[in-house]
A and B are shown apart, each in its own frame.
Chain A
Amino acid sequence: MNKIRKFAWVTMIAATAVAVGCGPVGTGAETDTAGSRTPKILSAAHLGQKAGELSADGRMIVGRGKDYVPIAEDPVALSARLQKSMAERRAVAWRIVEAMLEPQKIMVGSESFDVPLWHTWYEGKQGSREVEGKIKLFFAKLKACRTANCQKSMEQIAAETVASTDTKDLARSLTDANLGRMTASLQGAAGQPENLGRGGTIYSPSFVEHILAQARSIETCHSLRTTNTDPGPSSDRFSHCLAEFPRSATMLKTVWLPLQQGVPAPRTDATAMTALIDGGSWPSSPASQVGSDKIYAIESAEGKTYGLRALHISTKDIREWMWITLWWSPSPDSDFGQDRPASIARFNGGVWANYKMCVTSAFAEGDPAPWSSFQQGQPQLAAALKATHEALVRRANVSPDRQLTTWCSNPNVETESNNGMSNCIGCHQYASSWDPEVNRLTDYHYTLEPNPRARYPQHGRAKGRNNFASDFTWSFFFESTPALIRQERERNPRMDW
């Protein structure tokens, strides 16, 4: 297959002396001082320039963190408990956040750094394409196995594929190209709505293993054309083409920003929340300069410092997933940060104490007074939740479906018009579903249209489907998971599944 796109160059032979592109090895990471809270920044800047396709090893190799361990509680009971109580919902969400931050050690030169658990997992197509690599490796192993007439199941080969490498080369992640693309996709959101929602995606080992084990049926996902009213296949399956993910499955989205640009400082107090839900959109917020001691920061191979301005975390603790999002804030101890456990600050020199959080675990709000538990101890959080709830009630009252929904959106991510009143789960329900009106797969921004059609009630917040074609995962659509599987299948046309 010819992949050259341009031929407008002159063939010539002129052996020109060219200096080899290999620069001096620099220093890199900042040093930590005993007793100081200034965190060390994981840096790839020490790697120096490449030397052709000769590759130096051992520079940014981190062990793959363990899989996520779900909450030890029956998922149905857990779901019901969380739907009924905002206090319990938020407490569980902070526990999950804490689990995601568990530090993994990496040695860079003679220095040790803490890398959050999530940062050691598998990057999707907007990252360094680790999931795609696993799909390629899975098919190669499957082919080798079938050629040798092995009797292993797809599940066994999937497990072997995921287990076959227990390290991650962060040098591949910490580059301007990798981090800048994520930033660019977000900045382009206002003018290019199709880009919104795309950032750097990361998946837990069990998420990736499930994709591989389900490859045969996932390949068919996009051809099913399930509409909103199609019934689900069975009581224990949301999708006709995919068994549900295991409880340890986790998907994350990171959004980075070069710190030199400043970081937006969104308001999320009661007044801002009323304006948000009534108006539908986050107002633009001014950027402020943030030091790397106040935000989770890394340094790219090119020497640019990036801060993590937002982090989505979705775990399959319950059937319809837990939907958690963190955003950086200059006033982190107010409203949505007021109940943050002190233990969150023990990671990465305390930078995680600068993030606020919201969470959804269901479409419908089951807590009649989500603010009530916080009135005494966290009054600003109570006020923000009360304002949010009251605005959602007003929304429900004028909606044909009358459903009182939950809310959770990230002011550093869901910045497009009408996206601020989202609730995560509502958007994700439409992943891989078919929209017969436009005769194509649903794109998330259909829910954001000014006058949403009946099939996207309340801008997607309310439950609008009987089935969930890809178990709420947008990666099937945005990262072309079925197409990647089909592509590998086509490379091995005679292979017996």
Chain B
Amino acid sequence: MKAGRFGANAGLASIIGDDDRTILFETRNRPERMICALRIRAAGRLFHGSGWLAGPRLVMTCGHCVFHPAMNGWAEAIEIDPGLSEDLAPFGTVSSTRFSAARQWTRDGDKAFDVGAIHLAEPLGDQLGWFAVEAASDPRALVGRRATISGYPLFDGVYSRQMRHDDTIAGVADGRLFYPIDTDEGQSGSPIWLGDGDVAEPVVIGIHAYEKQQTPPRLGVEANSGTPITLGVLQLIETWKQATA
């Protein structure tokens, strides 16, 4: 349990207690190279998010990274930097204009289905590998399990450093996972996998999406949140993977 030192937790939207994240500069290995920084262009603006390879030509992210009212709907183009490390993009940059999202997200804005996909023309996954994905038939079974989130948050003025933290999944409500894992703006779409950061072959069980301010007060918990991979979401991922195979 973190001690509540005075002045702690000031200013950062999604840091809970102390900032326990680790910065990863060596991103040429698995799984770091399968995690991507996203530069999203829409409505004349530039947005930043995160994503992860889920197939040869499929980058998974959250729905609001590809479709959002602030973008006037769908993103126009997304540049993808797998394994970005400051100024170094060890595997180059690819761009896409083909996206998908769960209909419950695009139609209803349902946060329980805030999942989206970027379809690549290039088989980037064949070179870098992709994450295994596992659906929880009942996400409540994840409560109490240790989980890791790794992505590209705003840190020190830029979105170009991969940062990681692991902690325990605290609960499930409204179809979302809640956890005290430190994240920050730009990390929407990051993979959530079970185990700590040293897991050799991580298996994704969720997609990070929201900072702690988006946690309903009625839950009485200070936590960030994401979308669990349910059977329905897994089916979507498989469909999108086939569509871009």
Chain A residues near B (Cβ < 8 Å):
1-22, 25, 48, 50-58, 61, 123, 125-130, 132-134, 136-137, 140-141, 144, 147, 164-169, 172, 175, 177-178, 181, 198, 478-480, 483, 487, 491
Q: B173: which A residues are within 8 A, CB to CB?
A: 9-14
B25 engages A144 (CB within 8 Å): yes
The contact sample of 6 A-B pairs, CB cut-off 8 A, is A4-B168, A16-B175, A50-B211, A52-B210, A53-B14, A54-B70
- What is the distance, in angstroms, from A306's C-beta to the closest C-beta of chain B? 15
- What is the distance, in angstroms, from B245's C-beta to the closest C-beta of chain A? 28
Chain B residues near A (Cβ < 8 Å):
1-2, 5, 7-8, 10-14, 16-26, 40, 45-49, 62, 64-65, 68-70, 86, 104, 108-114, 138-140, 143, 153-159, 161, 167-168, 170-175, 180, 183-189, 208-211, 213-214, 218-224
Counting from the closest, the 9 A-B pairs by CB-CB distance are: A128-B11, A55-B185, A140-B23, A15-B175, A15-B112, A3-B180, A53-B188, A144-B25, A165-B157
B174 engages A6 (CB within 8 Å): no
In angstroms, Cα B157 to Cα A110, docked, is 21
Q: A8: which B residues are within 8 A, CB to CB?
A: 220
A136 engages B12 (CB within 8 Å): no
Majority SS of interface residues in chain B?
loop
- What is the distance, in angstroms, from A466's C-beta to the closest C-beta of chain B? 30
In angstroms, Cα B7 to Cα A198, docked, is 10
In angstroms, Cα B158 to Cα A325, docked, is 33
B172 engages A53 (CB within 8 Å): no
Q: A165: which B residues are within 8 A, CB to CB?
A: 156-158
A53 engages B19 (CB within 8 Å): no
CB closest residue in chain A, given B218: A9
Q: B111: which A residues are within 8 A, CB to CB?
A: 18, 20
CB closest residue in chain B, given A139: B23
Q: B223: which A residues are within 8 A, CB to CB?
A: 4
- What is the distance, in angstroms, from A48's C-beta to the closest C-beta of chain B? 7
Q: Name B7's contact: one of A51, A125, A175 (CB within 8 Å).
A: A125
B68 engages A51 (CB within 8 Å): yes
In angstroms, Cα B11 to Cα A127, docked, is 6
A168 and B47 in contact, given A14-B174, A136-B19 (Cβ under 8 angstroms) = no
B220 engages A13 (CB within 8 Å): no
CB closest residue in chain B, given A169: B157
CB closest residue in chain A, given B224: A53
A126 engages B157 (CB within 8 Å): no
In angstroms, Cα B8 to Cα A132, docked, is 10
In angstroms, Cα B109 to Cα A464, docked, is 64
Q: A181: which B residues are within 8 A, CB to CB?
A: 10
Which residue among A20, A22, A126, A479 has the maximum number of chain B CB atoms within 10 Å of its CB?
A20
A51 engages B70 (CB within 8 Å): yes
In angstroms, Cα B156 to Cα A172, docked, is 11
Known A-B contacts: A48-B70, A177-B10. Give 16 more (CB < 8 A).
A1-B2, A14-B174, A16-B174, A18-B174, A19-B109, A22-B68, A52-B114, A53-B153, A54-B62, A54-B188, A56-B45, A128-B12, A137-B156, A147-B26, A164-B86, A172-B11
